Each structure stands twice: as C-alpha cells, then as structure tokens.
C-alpha cells in the first residue's frame, strides 16, 4: 500500500527516520514541502497515527500525477476513475477536504465540489448507491490536493484533528510551539538519557513535556481521543498502546529535564499540561530569567528553545536585547559537547546575536510553522 504523510515543511529528514523506524519504505521526500511518500503494510496506519511524534497527518495515497495546466475536468476525471467502493461502505458518509497551492483559475471550494461529485457519480456507477456527504463529521475523509501542477488524492486516516494536537494540552500559551516540531527539535538535539536538558523559555511546557514523553517512551497516541477516519485504526492503535512498555515506574526521576520561564502564569499552565501528560514528576519547572542562566546553572548539555519572536512581544529592540543576553548567558554554561537548538522567526536578529557571542552554527535550516517562516539553528561552543 502507498501512503503519504504531511508535516511541518523543513523537518522531512527527521520524520523520514520515524517512518523507516516503523517499517515504511521511503519512496520520495519532498524537501521543504512537508510531504513524504512511502509504502508499507497496513499496520503502518495505526503505528504512525498512535506512535509517531513528528508527523501531522497520514493518508493512503490513491492517485498522484503531474498534470500541466490542470483543470477541474482533469480533477473530475481522475477522481471518478478511482474505485471508491474499496474505501467507502455504502452506508458511510464522506467529505472532500480540498487544498490548493499555486495559481489556478479555480478555488479550493471548486475542487471540493467537483471531486465530491466525481466520488458520488463513480460510486453510483459501480454500486447504484448515492453516497451521503457529511462535511462536519464524515465517516471517510478524502483529501484532494492540487499543488501547482500536481494532483494528489488520498484517504485521510488521521481524521480532522491532526496529530500535532496533543490531547494533554489543557493550557494554551498564546505562542505555543507545535508539539510535532518540538519533538523533531528534540530528536535533532540527540539528547542522551544522562544529559541535562533545558528549555529556558518554556511557556506552556511543550518542549520539556515532549522530551519527557520521548524519554519515558510514552506514545502520543495515549492522549488521543478516538478520532481516526477508520475504526480499525483506533482498535489497532489501542492494541499497540497496550503493548508498549512505558519507562514510567522506575525511571521517572532518572532524567534531568528543566523548563524555565519568567512568567509564572505560563509556568502554572505548563505544570497543568505536564500533569495531564502524566510527566510532571519528570520535569522541574523553574521561575527564572533566560538572560541569567549562569546565575542558576553551572553547566548544561542540551538546550532546546523557542524564544519570543517579537510579533507578540512588543518592540524589536527588546527581542534583540533578549537574544543577545540569552546567548551570552547560555554560552557561560555550555561545554565542549553542549548543543543549543533554537527556532525563531526573527532569524536575522538571532544570527546577529550568535555572531556577537561567537557561537558556532553547526546547522541552520528553514521550517514552516503554521503560516510563518522560521529558522532552526543548531549551535555549539
Ligand atoms: N515553547 C513555548 C510553548 O510551547 O508554550 C512557547 C514559548 S514563547 C514563544 C516564549 C516564552 O519566552 C514566553 O513564555 C515568555 O514568557 C518567555 N520569556 C521571554 N523572555 C524571557 C526571559 N528573559 N526569561 C525567561 N523566559 C522568557
């Protein structure tokens, strides 16, 4: 069976490792486009939906084709020619979730309308049954994406709530980081069990919580409401969860994970989230200042941080000062093998601060975070 997943563009190489770990065979990676195509058996569907930490959505791939000057007629024809009786029972409802990127003389609403009609007519031809459309709570979600000249048609196995929406979040920080990006950055940091891990501007705690879940081998699917498109995904997903041995009983205090923020309200929210994720006993949340880390810590092994960008933080000057003082302080507690991973939309300002503090950039790359272009920096001394 062929599949494709979507994720935050820029982090494909990290998600690729996860797919391979679950047994998928990579066919194509769309770098910076947030899409990976691969093949594998059916059990990949519950595995990715319940165990993956970096992927947002998993779809069964039904059709993929480059069609120069693609038209609505092309879309109708391709969708009509798929055997929908294999995917939708006659008593099930469906919805098209369309997506369009690039210049076309039609809208995504047009795609939804035309593709919906094609599914209904195709099904009627094969089974003489008119399928029901339910846009709010469909039994089966069909993804029809027109990306420039390419048409991609798939069955969404994840459901409308993407996998980055972790069920443990009860407190919403106004600028919280996407949990799948947080996990990807933690994987990137190559954090070892005995190393001290610090998020010095942790807000609602997403990064330390994802870190604790990774170390304790708690699958994100544990916090999922049963909302997959297919019932079997949830049934097998729950079976998988039951089989997984979480590293919780003996080892909860083995890891050294610290979340720090200067805003007590956010720290309280982070504690709530961590409690809900059942990892509060694994993380220390500390009220403090990221520009004065050296006054609190002697040494740190791994820092993963999502500092403010200034968009919600007021003046650019304040952000510039924060970046400078934070990196200057972080440098004082870093040692030869410490790594600092940061993600920010104010990448120019952050880079100026890196240069000013004479830190080494091992890697830097763009990541699309929501609609915002951000940059990830991997720094060492
Ligand atoms: N990753 C977080 C999450 O998922 O909720 C969001 C982090 S938010 C973009 C940036 C955080 O930096 C805010 O919570 C803010 O209170 C904190 N912050 C700003 N200046 C700080 C400083 N000097 N020391 C510590 N925290 C600071």
Q: Which DSSP state fits 130?
A: -
CATH architecture type of domain 179-222+244-380: 3-Layer(aba) Sandwich (3.40)
Q: How far is the CA of 141 from the centre of ligand 1 (A)?
A: 37
Q: How far is the CA of 190 from the centre of ligand 1 (A)?
A: 23
Cα–Cα dist 66/230, whole Å: 29
Fold of 2-156: VC0802-like (3.30.2130)
CB 142 within 8 A of CB 94: yes
Which pLDDT score, from 0 to 100, does residue 364 have? 98
ipTM over 0.90: yes
Cα–Cα dist 45/206, whole Å: 25
Residue spans of the chain under pLDDT 70: 226-230, 248-252, 311-314
Cα–Cα dist 236/245, whole Å: 16
Q: How far is the CA of 163 from the centre of ligand 1 (A)?
A: 24
- Residues of the chain above pLDDT 90, percent: 87
Q: Where are the beta strands (DSSP E) in 7-66?
A: 25-30, 35-39, 57-66
CB 84 within 8 A of CB 119: yes
Q: How far is the CA of 261 from the centre of ligand 1 (A)?
A: 6
* Residue carrying structure tokens 């919600």: 312
Q: How far is the CA of 199 from the centre of ligand 1 (A)?
A: 9
How far is C-alpha 125 from the geometric centre of its chain's CA atoms?
A: 39
Nearest-atom number in ligand 1 for the CA of 305 is 1
Q: How far is the CA of 60 from the centre of ligand 1 (A)?
A: 38
Q: How far is the CA of 263 from the centre of ligand 1 (A)?
A: 8
Cα–Cα dist 220/222, whole Å: 5
Cα–Cα dist 204/322, whole Å: 19
Nearest-atom number in ligand 1 for the CA of 291 is 23
Nearest-atom number in ligand 1 for the CA of 312 is 9
- Burial profile 232-250: b = 16 or more Cβ within 10 angstroms, e = fewer: ebbebbbebbeeeeebeee
Which pLDDT score, from 0 to 100, does residue 227 have? 65
CB 308 within 8 A of CB 341: no
Q: How far is the CA of 202 from the centre of ligand 1 (A)?
A: 5
Closest residue CA from atom 18 of ligand 1: 201
Residue ranges lining ligand 1, Cβ < 6 Å: 173, 175-177, 201-204, 206-207, 260-263, 266, 289-291, 306-308, 322
Query: What six digits make up the tokens of 327?
Result: 């990196």
Q: How far is the CA of 274 from the centre of ligand 1 (A)?
A: 16
Nearest-atom number in ligand 1 for the CA of 326 is 23
> Facing residues of 100 across strands?
146
Mutate to test the pocket of ligand 1, among 307, 320, 330 (most ligand atoms within 8 A of CB): 307
Query: What six digits make up the tokens of 342?
Result: 């940061």
- What is the model's pTM? 0.95
CB 221 within 8 A of CB 241: yes
Can 2-156 and 179-222+244-380 be said to share one CATH topology? no
Which pLDDT score, from 0 to 100, does residue 371 have? 87
Nearest-atom number in ligand 1 for the CA of 266 is 14
Cα–Cα dist 276/223, whole Å: 9
Domain boundaries, the chain: 2-156, 179-222+244-380
Which pLDDT score, from 0 to 100, does residue 380 have? 98
Nearest-atom number in ligand 1 for the CA of 313 is 19
| 311 phi and psi angles, rounded to 5 deg | -60, -40
Closest residue CA from atom 17 of ligand 1: 201
Mutate to test the pocket of ligand 1, among 262, 270, 303, 311 (most ligand atoms within 8 A of CB): 262
Mutate to test the pocket of ligand 1, among 8, 179, 203 (most ligand atoms within 8 A of CB): 203
| 329 phi and psi angles, rounded to 5 deg | -70, -45
């Amino acid at each position: 069976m062929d599949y494709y997943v979507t994720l935050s563009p820029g982090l494909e190489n990290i998600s690729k490792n996860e797919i391979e770990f679950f047994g998928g065979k990579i066919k194509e990676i769309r770098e910076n486009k947030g899409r990976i195509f691969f093949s594998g058996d059916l059990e990949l569907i519950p595995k990715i939906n319940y165990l993956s930490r970096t992927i947002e959505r998993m779809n069964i791939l039904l059709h993929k084709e480059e069609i120069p000057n693609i038209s609505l007629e092309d879309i109708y024809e391709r969708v009509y020619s798929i055997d929908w009786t294999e995917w939708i029972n006659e008593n099930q409802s469906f919805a098209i979730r369309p997506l369009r990127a690039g210049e076309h003389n039609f809208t995504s609403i047009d795609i939804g309308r035309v593709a919906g009609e094609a599914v209904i007519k195709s099904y009627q031809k094969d089974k003489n049954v008119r399928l029901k459309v339910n846009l709010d709570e469909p039994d089966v979600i069909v993804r029809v994406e027109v990306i420039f000249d390419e048409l991609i048609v798939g069955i969404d196995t994840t459901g409308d709530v993407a996998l980055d929406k972790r069920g443990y979040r009860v407190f919403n920080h106004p600028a919280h980081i996407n949990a799948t990006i947080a996990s990807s950055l933690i994987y990137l940091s190559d954090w070892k069990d005995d190393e001290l891990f610090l998020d010095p501007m942790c807000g609602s705690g997403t990064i330390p919580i994802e870190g604790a879940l990774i170390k304790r081998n708690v699958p994100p699917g544990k916090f999922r409401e049963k909302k997959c498109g297919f019932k079997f995904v949830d049934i097998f997903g729950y079976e998988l969860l039951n089989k997984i041995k979480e590293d919780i009983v003996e080892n909860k205090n083995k890891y050294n994970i610290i979340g720090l923020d200067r805003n007590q309200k956010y720290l309280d929210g982070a504690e709530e989230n961590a409690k809900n994720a059942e990892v509060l006993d694994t993380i220390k949340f500390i009220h403090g200042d990221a520009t004065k880390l050296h006054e609190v810590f002697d040494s740190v092994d791994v820092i993963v941080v999502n500092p403010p960008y200034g968009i919600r933080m007021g003046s650019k000057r304040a952000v510039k000062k924060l970046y400078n003082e934070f990196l200057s302080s972080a440098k004082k507690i870093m040692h030869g093998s410490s790594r600092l991973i940061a993600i920010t939309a104010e990448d120019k300002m952050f880079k100026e601060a890196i240069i000013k503090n004479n830190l080494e950039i091992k890697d830097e790359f763009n990541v699309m975070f929501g609609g915002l272009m951000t940059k990830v920096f991997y720094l060492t001394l």
